[in-house]
Every structure is written in C-alpha cells, then in structure tokens.
Amino acid sequence: MLIQEHSRPGRRATAQAPLTTADHSTLPQALRRKQRAALPEVSEMQAVRHYTRLSQQNFSIDTHFYPLGSCTMKYNPRACNSLASLPGFLARHPAAPESHSQGIMACLHELQDMLKSVTGMHAVSLAPAAGAQGELAGVMMIRAYHDARGDHDRREMLVPDAAHGTNPASAIMAGFKVREVPTGRNGDVDIDALRAVVGPQTAGIMLTNPSTVGVFDRNIQAIAKTVHEAGGLLYYDGANLNAILGKVRPGDMGFDVIHMNLHKTFSTPHGGGGPGAGPVGVSKRLEPYLPIPLVEKDDDEGYHWLDEDDRPESIGRLTAFGGNMGILLRAYIYARLLGAEGMRRVSEFATLNANYLQARLRAAGFQLAYPERRASHEFIITLKKEAKDFGVNTMDVAKRLLDYGYHAPTTYFPLLVPECLLIEPTETEPKEALDGFVEAMIKIRAEAEQEPETVRQAPHSLPVRRLDDVRAARQLDVAWKPAEGLAESNI
C-alpha cells in the first residue's frame, strides 16, 4: 500500500508545521497555486509505521551478506554517521564565512591530504558528488590539458571493453569519441591491441586496476608507457581501490588522474543508491584544472576556500555548493578510525576473503572465469555449464540466493563473461558468512539439478515473487495520481 493510499482528507501531523497560516496576501493571485498538491494526509505515526515497514522490505549490509561485485558493500561504521551529524556540522550553511567554518575545513583539508597520500597523487579535489561525476571531472581535465597545449586533435578516449558503463558515458559527456580496447584471454588488457590503436588522436585511456574482471593488470607499466609515449594520459577509475588500498598507489602505477568512490572504499553509506562522493586526484601537470572549490591551508590565517578566481583554469563547479560535504565528513571519520595501518589491512583482508571464497567455490566445482589468476578483492564465476545442463541461468541463481538470505552478487557484468556472477565479499565479513554463502551455492546447484522450477521461479520467501520488468516498461506507471475529483482541494 502506498502512503498516498493511507491518506484521509484533513488528517495532519500538526506538531510539525506552524500552528497557523501566516499572511501571504502580497503574493499575487495570478502566480499562486489554485489547487492543493496531492500529497499524503496522514498522522506522524502512520508515516513512521509506513516507512519503518518499507525499510523491512530491504536487504542491506546491516541485515544481510551483500557480496555485490564492484560495489564494495562493507560495514558502514555507525560513528561516521553520528559524528557527521553533530549539530555544528548539520547547521552550517554552505555560504557561512570562513570564520565560522574552520572546524569542518580542517577535516576537509586533512581528507584531501590523506587521499593524496594513499593514492600517490599530487593534488586532490573533493568536489565531485559521485563516482560518475568524478569520472566526468577527470576526463574534462584531460581535455583541458590537451587544449591548453594547443593539442586539439586528441579527441579519442580509449576504454577497455570490460569497463563500467559510466566510463564511456562520461567520456562522451566530455566531448570525446570512445574507442574500445579488448581484454585478453587472461583478463589483462590486450597490449598488442592497445599498441595498434594509440596515436596522435589519443587523449587518454580510462582503466580500472584491478579491472572489473577481478584481476590486477600485470602489464600496467607497459600500458602506461604505451599511452604516455603516444601523448595520451592515464585515467584511473577508483571503483576497485579497496583491493589495493595502502598496497599499491595509482600515482606510482603512472596514472595522471584518478577518481575515488568514497561510498565504496571509505565506507560511506550507499543509501539505496547514493549519495556518493567522487573526489579526484591528479598529477602535477593537471593541478590547475581541478574542479573547485578546494580547501587551502595558510599557516597564519587558517583554512580558506579556493574558487574560480583563484583557479581560473579550473574545469569549474560541478554542484552549487561544492559537493556532498556530509559524505566527505563520514569518509574523513572512517579514515581517522583506520589510520595508515588500518587502510593497509582493508586491502589485505578484502583480498583474503575474496581468494578464500574463490578457492572454496572452485573446490565445490564452480567454474572460475579466470582460473589461473589470483583474485583481487573480487572474482568472477560463470554458470555457463549450469545453464546448459539444468536450464537454470545466472539470474535464477541470483534470485534463489535471496531466499537463502544472501544478497546476490553482481549479475551479467562484465559483459564479456557469459552467465557470470561478480563476487566481492569485502574485508568486514567473517569466515562464517563466506562459508554459509558457499553452502547456499552448493544447495542451489543441487536444486537446479533436481527441482529446477524451484530455482527458476525464485524468490519464494520475499515480499514479492519474481517481478515483471517487461510489463513495467510497456505499461509505464511511474507516479501515483489521485482519482478524478478526489484528493485535490482548493487552497
């Protein structure tokens, strides 16, 4: 039932708005609303009960193992939320003067510094609001760099075929043409294919390392050399930074620009689809183009903002007020809780968990997509054989996992591995959770063999059974509307 369907005319949460309607007679009649908007009319308790019940229809990290590959669903420490929600932080207006902002600016400046250190980059801007915006900022800086040198013909961005969809979409938004580079059979970028396509038209390459197929590209130095010698720059998609945190730095691998997904590696909440935060880091030659605002520290006068006037070559402003500050604060708090040693352990235990899970699934007879490779923080199995033998596909297995109390891994991505599951356990899961997942996978395969309909029709234990996506798109209904003549009343 929708909240709108709980609505009864005249019902209200009276304590939450002014007791009377103030005089607004100076607002011209012609510019006023004639009919009241059809918003719900419910009591406060009804709203609380309704949304509490809805929350209970979600899988989440706090309630379930959530091995969603490429998404780094690790525990979100509660302290990060409660401390970022201190009244002093929540009440601060984005246009508050620096005199009343030194506390938060100190946090932001230290976060900039810590991100520089852990990525090996020269400078960092916290401005991008999410990973995709960080990508856009990154490729725009590459374009600004070439343009500033009069190198206007570099209009081609190289993107491996295994890349996240955001990579080509961001490159297009920055005005580039996208050229795909194939992945070799062993999971590394096909270096010969790369050498064949670089040239004076190459603006750069967008790479994830470890890549989306879950392996560290061993040829990274050769890739960097090839692209740099052709005059292009290297862009690092930080989606998989959790795999190498404190172990290898993108700056040392030769990357010129990177973005980080703080909602992955720095454990800020995913929130049912955001908010994220996508800071960008750059080598020295790209620093002038960083998106604003930035926080600078002046030994005498404390912290101050750098904006358009201070950075005339900046690619500019990406949101009205400089990004998702509350998320940046959560990431800062997480980084302080971890410290240098804790960051290193993140990648160590994320990698340990992934390789353990991979070893156990392999021993149980599941087929690895890259059996000769070490897993990074994630790995891929392919259910090609199960699909052929039992007529049960990856989506069926994913849905059946929900019945066993496990959120499904990422399905059908990357696109180049058929019937695949991309599995990322993260470092915060105990061994028992991984063992339980393996047992569930074994049981589901047995079901697929003995009673395939059980798997094909899954899930069976959730608030709804398998949903009809085709119907959703064909008989489009994306907003509730009040019945004619009902619910809308004159103001």
Residues of span 29-68 touching another protein by CB under 8 A: 30-34, 36-42, 44, 47-48, 50-52, 54-63, 66, 68
Name the maximum alpha-carbon separation found in the chain.
Answer: 76
Question: What tokens were used for 3?
Answer: 């909240």
Site string for another protein, 345-384 (x = CB under 8 A): xx-xx-xxx-xx--xx--x---------xx----------
User: Among 65, 69, 121, 166, which residue sits at the site for another protein (rule: CB under 8 A)?
Assistant: 166
d(CA 46, CA 89): 30
Question: What tokens were used for 412?
Answer: 């059908």
Rounded least distance, CB 244 to another protein, Å: 8
Question: What tokens were used for 423?
Answer: 């599995």
- Report which DSSP code applies to 184: P
User: Among 240, 324, 393, 394, which residue sits at the site for another protein (rule: CB under 8 A)?
Assistant: 324
Residues 176-205 that bind another protein (CB under 8 A): 178
- Considering beta carbons, is residue 302 or 387 the nearer one to another protein? 302
- Considering beta carbons, is residue 272 or 485 the nearer one to another protein? 272
- Considering beta carbons, is residue 230 or 245 the nearer one to another protein? 245
Site string for another protein, 436-465 (x = CB under 8 A): ---------------------x-x--xxxx
Peptide bond preceding 418 in cis form (omega within 30 of 0): no
Q: Using CB under 8 A, which of the segments 83-91, 227-235, 383-391, 444-452 binds another protein?
A: 83-91
- Report which DSSP code applies to 123: E
Rounded least distance, CB 50 to another protein, Å: 7
DSSP assignments along 282-311, one per residue: E-GGGGGGPPBPEEEEETTTEEEEE-TTT-
Question: What tokens were used for 247?
Answer: 């172990």
**Amino acid found at 477:** D
Rounded least distance, CB 471 to another protein, Å: 5
From edge to edge, which strands make up the β-sheet containing 379-382? 367-368, 379-382, 420-423, 410-411
Q: Using CB under 8 A, which of the segments 193-201, 228-236, 405-413, 416-424 binds another protein?
A: 405-413
| Beta-carbon-side half-sphere exposure of residue 198 (alpha carbons within 13 Å) | 23
| Beta-carbon-side half-sphere exposure of residue 66 (alpha carbons within 13 Å) | 18
Q: Using CB under 8 A, which of the segments 312-320, 382-390, 417-425, 439-447 binds another protein?
A: 312-320
Rounded least distance, CB 22 to another protein, Å: 4
Note whether 234 binds another protein by CB under 8 A: no
CB of 283 within 8 A of CB of 344?
Answer: no
User: Among 121, 141, 170, 257, which residue sits at the site for another protein (rule: CB under 8 A)?
Assistant: 170
Give CA separation, 124 vs 118, 119, 251, in Å. 11, 10, 12
Rounded least distance, CB 439 to another protein, Å: 14
Identify the residue whose tokens are 């209009």.
Answer: 155
User: Among 65, 69, 97, 145, which residue sits at the site for another protein (rule: CB under 8 A)?
Assistant: 97
CB of 381 within 8 A of CB of 367?
Answer: yes
Mapped onto helix, strand or coil, the DSSP state of residue 350 is: helix
CB of 104 within 8 A of CB of 324?
Answer: no
Rounded least distance, CB 383 to another protein, Å: 16
d(CA 67, CA 422): 8
Residues 269-308 that bind another protein (CB under 8 A): 269-276, 291, 308
Rounded least distance, CB 375 to another protein, Å: 8
Question: What tokens were used for 199?
Answer: 């040239």
With contacts defined by CB under 8 A, how many residues of the chain interact with another protein? 199
d(CA 162, CA 412): 12
Rounded least distance, CB 489 to another protein, Å: 9
Rounded least distance, CB 56 to another protein, Å: 6
User: Among 69, 204, 322, 425, which residue sits at the site for another protein (rule: CB under 8 A)?
Assistant: 322
Rounded least distance, CB 76 to another protein, Å: 5
User: Among 67, 69, 73, 392, which residue sits at the site for another protein (rule: CB under 8 A)?
Assistant: 73
Q: Using CB under 8 A, which of the segments 210-218, 225-233, 383-391, 441-449 binds another protein?
A: 210-218
* Cα angle, residue 440 at apex, residues 435 and 442 outer, rounded to 5°: 95
